[in-house]
Amino acid sequence: MTESILRKKTIVFAGGGTGGHLLPGIAVAEQLASLGEFQTIFVGSNRIVEQQIIENSGYQHLSLPSSSTSDLKRAPFRFLWHNGRAFLQAIRFLRTKIPSVVIGLGGFASVPVILAASWLKIPIVLLEQNIIPGRANQFLFSRASLVCISFSETEFKCKRSGVNHNQPRVVLTGNPVRQQIVNAGIQKGTAEKSTETSILILGGSQGATAVNDVVLSLLKQTGDDLPMPLHVIHQTGEAGYACVNVTYEWMRKQWPQLRVTVQPFFDDLTEWYTHTDLIISRAGATTLAEIACLGIPTVLIPFPNSIRDHQLINARFYAERGAAFLVEQAPDSNVTAQLLSKAVLDLLNGPEERSSMSQKVHELAYPQAAHRVAEELVELIRD
């Protein structure tokens, strides 16, 4: 079948709320552009972070008034009202666009759109980024034609109440990573080593107050032991930006060779990735996939309240393979800071350990994941 048959097909990506759900979809959309002429539309929530990410990527975006399951107990009528409206709006939208396929990216914002696609008999593909499937993808699993997973250990439950549901085809593709990140990993391997040590701190696209507090405690406690000159690049989230920035101003006076770049959210981390020696991060699956492609030694502080402990399970997978250090967040931030200090100092003062971790994390990478998913979508459309 020729490429012309694929021309002007509409592809809808459903989901979002955070960068972790959106960025794999953007990575696949980029690869689809090389395989044919598609109209790509993202449909998700009305969160500002989501809108900024899609807008900066140049794709169309439709916001729906969906609510997460956290609203189900505290505001059940609002939950039903918002998601009912989102479902009806999604049906009207899909009837207008008539997409060839709808791709669920996970998260609460994907549910009304995927249910609407199922109602309209539109083929459905799900992308699962984590080892433990998210609640949305688990709920939608039996409605899909194809499910792309990122870890061979991922398992879905496909029986409920003794009734056999549809068993979609499950393919191990890896978690899609944008081509610019893959290219940065290649560039990093050939880049000239700077005399300045760089640490990148990521709390996720929404930031993480606990990570901010622990990292600042770490720097205050170990500043004299850290290699200088030192460049700290810190993504704080909107809520923590002002306080963190003030603290760094004080630190710069204590350690003149300390250079700091602080932002609530970095639209593009590619440049920072290229020059980073060490990352301190939460354990979101998309961040881990990017780190693997880049081969950067990392200390992971999984979010302790993540659904089904999926971040902790992701982090353990990497740590057990020597691909990252795992520091579990303790109730006492001082305890966490002490554990983090040891891990960071061991890595920064141990070039052999950094090199070994870099190699091991690189072995977990799927640099062709986005292209593989895009090819699966094209084959589904052709069939």
- Please state the residue numbers annotated as binding site for UDP-N-acetyl-alpha-D-glucosamine: 18-20, 130, 178, 205, 311
Cis peptide bond upstream of 99, omega within 30: no
Q: Tokens for 383?
A: 């069939």
Crossing angle (nearest 10°) for helices 179-190 and 19-32: 90
Which of 200, 207, 257, 269 is closest to 234 using CA atoms?
A: 200
Crossing angle (nearest 10°) for helices 19-32 and 48-57: 20
Q: What angle do CA 368, 371, 375 make, to 5 degrees?
A: 135
Which of 203, 210, 208 is closest to 233 using CA atoms?
A: 203
Q: Is the dihedral of CA 81, 44, 294, 368 positive or negative?
A: positive
Which of 300, 305, 304 is closest to 318 using CA atoms?
A: 300
- Please state the residue numbers annotated as binding site: 18-20, 130, 178, 205, 311
